[in-house]
């Protein structure tokens, strides 16, 4: 997201959400690091748990692969692959198992036609354009007093905000599915389960932060366009 045009609205609307988002990122990393030191008493690795959950839901065709990096775990619906990071794949930690189960939750969402994830996937192309062009177009429109550019920029940014908004139920639902399965199937018990829950709760805060940043920039854009019209 480009921020080459500086104004006091940036301080008012954008800086506080950015601070929250930065704190959320630190929170998820420190929480993951903490519970990476606590291991499953049953000795399951994250990939073993992931495979079991997939198979128990009839998703035998979904593959699991290792990917480089830390906390780079994701489900790729195009390739039908769950990719677990190096710090998660073979780990028996409650943090790793929680993260793996969360990503499997996304695979199950896709298989079951979960509506919010279908909506999110449908607007990704518009969101990608909006993320790259919304603010530059609007600022150019403001600088040159060209109303159509401002309007296009605002509507593109609406798509960005909506994407972040629809992401929340997608991520929260995946975590609920994960935690329910980990508890009901006794993969994690007692404090092990609580540790995984704390990791996923911390991860959820990063998506809240992303939404707040998007909203802050949208309010900034509206304020700038309103000032330009005045």
Tell me which residue range forms the domain holding 163: 8-229
Q: Is residue 2 part of a domain?
A: no
Domain count, the chain: 1
In a domain, 129, yes or no: yes
Instruction: Note whether residue 195 is domain-resident.
Output: yes
pLDDT in tens, 158-199: 999 999 999 999 999 999 999 999 999 999 999 999 999 999
Among the listed residues 86, 103, 191, 192, the single catalytic one is 103
CA–CA distances in Å: residue 165 to residues 4, 20, 43, 170: 25, 16, 37, 9
Q: What is the mean pLDDT of residues 128-146?
A: 87
- Let me know if 171 is a catalytic residue: no
What is the chain's mean pLDDT, rounded?
92
Residues 204-222: tens digit of each pLDDT: 999 999 999 999 999 998 9
Closest by CA position to 52, among listed 97, 10, 106:
97
Cα atoms found within 13 Å of the Cα of residue 102, Cβ hemisphere only: 25
- DSSP secondary structure letters along 131-190: HHHHHHHHHHHHHTT-HHHHHHHHHHHHHHHHHHHHHHHHHHHHHHHHHHHHHHTTSS-T
**How many other CB atoms sit within 10 Å of the CB of residue 226?**
9
Q: Is the pLDDT of residue 3 over 70?
A: no
| Prediction pTM value | 0.89
* Residue at 117 is within a domain: yes
């Amino acid at each position: 997201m480009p921020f080459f045009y500086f104004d006091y609205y940036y301080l008012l609307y954008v800086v506080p959400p950015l601070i929250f988002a930065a704190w959320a990122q630190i929170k998820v990393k420190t929480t993951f690091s903490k519970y990476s030191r606590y291991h499953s008493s049953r000795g399951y690795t994250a990939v073993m748990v992931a495979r079991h959950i997939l198979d128990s839901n009839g998703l035998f065709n979904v593959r699991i692969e290792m990917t480089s990096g830390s906390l780079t775990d994701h489900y790729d619906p195009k390739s039908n692959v769950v990719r677990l990071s190096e710090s998660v794949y073979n780990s028996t930690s409650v943090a790793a198992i929680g993260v793996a189960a969360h990503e499997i939750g996304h695979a199950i969402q896709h298989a079951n036609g979960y509506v919010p994830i279908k909506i999110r996937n449908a607007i990704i192309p518009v969101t990608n354009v909006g993320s790259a062009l919304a603010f530059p177009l609007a600022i150019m429109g403001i600088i040159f007093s060209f109303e159509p550019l401002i309007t296009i920029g605002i509507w593109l940014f609406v798509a960005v905000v909506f994407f972040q908004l629809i992401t929340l139920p997608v991520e929260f639902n995946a975590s609920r599915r994960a935690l329910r399965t980990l508890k009901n199937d006794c993969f994690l018990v007692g404090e092990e389960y609580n540790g995984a829950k704390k990791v996923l709760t911390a991860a959820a805060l990063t998506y809240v932060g992303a939404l707040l940043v998007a909203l802050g920039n949208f309010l900034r854009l509206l304020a700038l366009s309103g000032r330009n019209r005045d």
